[in-house]
Amino acid sequence: MSTEIKETAPIRTAVLGYGFAGRIFHAPFVNTVPGLELTAIVQRHGDNAAADYPAARLLRSTDEAFADPTIDLIVVATPNDSHVEMAQRALESGKHVVVDKPVAGSSAQVRALMALAQRQGRLLAPFHNRRFDGDFLTVRKLKEQGRLGRITLVDSHFDRFRPLQRANTWKEAGGAANGILFDLGPHLVDQALALFGTPRTITASVRHERDVTAIEDAFDIVLEFDLPEGHSLRYECHTTMLAPEAAPRFRVNGTLGSYVKFGLDPQESALLGGARPKRLGSAEPWLPEEEAAWGSLTLATRVTEPIQVERSRLPSEIGDYRRFYVNVRDAIRGETRLAISAEDAFRTIRLLELALEASDQNHTLAVDFTA
């Protein structure tokens, strides 16, 4: 894709919104990637964005960011139901766009944004940051190395414990792009697609579990993948807000062993605690996971009777959300393609739509992204 930005020039970036997403997941990482410049932050009320990033201009409206001809890249970190409008306006203003998940409340809306981005000659990148979690990277490495043999089951959980509905937050309000399916579903589904491609079928239960809730607050999604030689793989995605003791983040079974990992990647909790990533290029890694949190690897040393297995702790790969923005930078420069494309966003949202249909119909559905 052609670009007007020279390789040596900084990619001037504006982050729209300084709530949870903008403050935790976007501004810190834009600010630490060489070649990106955190030029402006849109914060309608308050001044903490200016205090956190004094070199960035504090804007009070998104209109200012869209109208600024010096801005090259817009990061949409606003509430979910505004993502489509913000991305559309950014593209129409000639900006490249990163959109926090979910990109949209429907796959048709994603397709429309993709067409607009193509007409404008600009990049549209979904922020599927959990591709850069250490646990996922570890699972991907085990798959690529074949250490578990032929993988037969992946059980993936992203559980929370919030028995009471939170007041005064858009995340607990009804709407097509809100609810737990479109909040955490994109993470789990995108990881499944990234690992194994297009599933053959989908079965799902999307439901309300808490006593009082305005959103669906739990789901189970089962994806069946075809493998060579007539084999199949079952990939399960689970989320609930009623899990005081969480299930394993990943359980992966194969013909030669298994991998079990508890706990989420440490980046989010570290950022919430005030940690900030160092500028990329520092010799110190951003955030290695503590040994106590590593997963358990069980491998067969003999598969004939009596079966023998060997158990060990497997060091987690180091997750790093900076890598997402490195790729965006290089794609804008025309040096590479997006690692996570707008097509990935479409496939993810389409699979979530199918999950709702399968749940409503209480029926297993075929998956076809070309329909």
- Residue ranges with strand state E in 87-159: 96-100, 124-127, 151-157
CA distance 242 to 257: 30
Q: Tokens 């249909």 belong to which residue? A: 357
- Per-residue pLDDT reduced to its tens digit, 81-106: 999 999 999 999 999 999 999 999 99
Across 339-351, average pLDDT: 98
Strand order in the sheet with 96-100: 57-59, 36-42, 11-16, 73-76, 96-100, 124-127
Rounded CA-CA distance 371/360 in Å is 20
What is residue 175's predicted lDDT score, i.e. its pLDDT? 72
pLDDT tens digits, one per residue of 236-283: 999 999 999 989 999 999 999 999 999 999 999 999 999 999 998 877
Fold assignment, 11-130+323-340 = Rossmann fold (3.40.50)
What pLDDT, on a 0 to 100 scale, did the predictor assign at position 173?
76
* Lowest-pLDDT choice from 21-30, 155-164, 199-208, 277-286: 277-286
Domain boundaries, the chain: 11-130+323-340, 134-264+278-319+352-365
Q: Which whole-number Å values give the CA distances from 311 to 41, 134, 252, in the listed order?
A: 48, 20, 14
Residue 371 has pLDDT above 70, yes or no: no
| 298 Cβ contact partners less than 8 Å away, ≥ 6 residues apart | 257, 258, 259, 260, 309, 310, 311
User: Measuring CA to CA, how many Å separate 230 from each of 65, 88, 153, 226, 233?
Assistant: 53, 44, 15, 7, 10
C-alpha triplet 82, 83, 86: angle, nearest 5° = 85
Q: Which two tokens stand for residue 287?
A: 């955030």
Burial of 122: CB neighbours in 10 Å, binned 0-12, 13-18, 19+: buried
Cβ neighbours of residue 10 closer than 8 Å, sequence gap 6 or more: 35, 36, 37
First to last CA, the chain: 27
**Residues above pLDDT 70, as percent of the chain:** 97
Q: How confident is the model at residue 169 (pLDDT cuts 50, 70, 90)?
A: confident
Is pLDDT at 7 greater than 60 in this prediction?
Answer: no
- What one-character DSSP code corresponds to residue 93? T
Confidence of residue 168 (pLDDT cuts 50, 70, 90): confident
Q: How many residues does the chain have?
A: 371
Contact indicator for 163, 242 with CB cutoff of 8 Å: yes
Domain 134-264+278-319+352-365 has CATH 3.30.360.10: yes
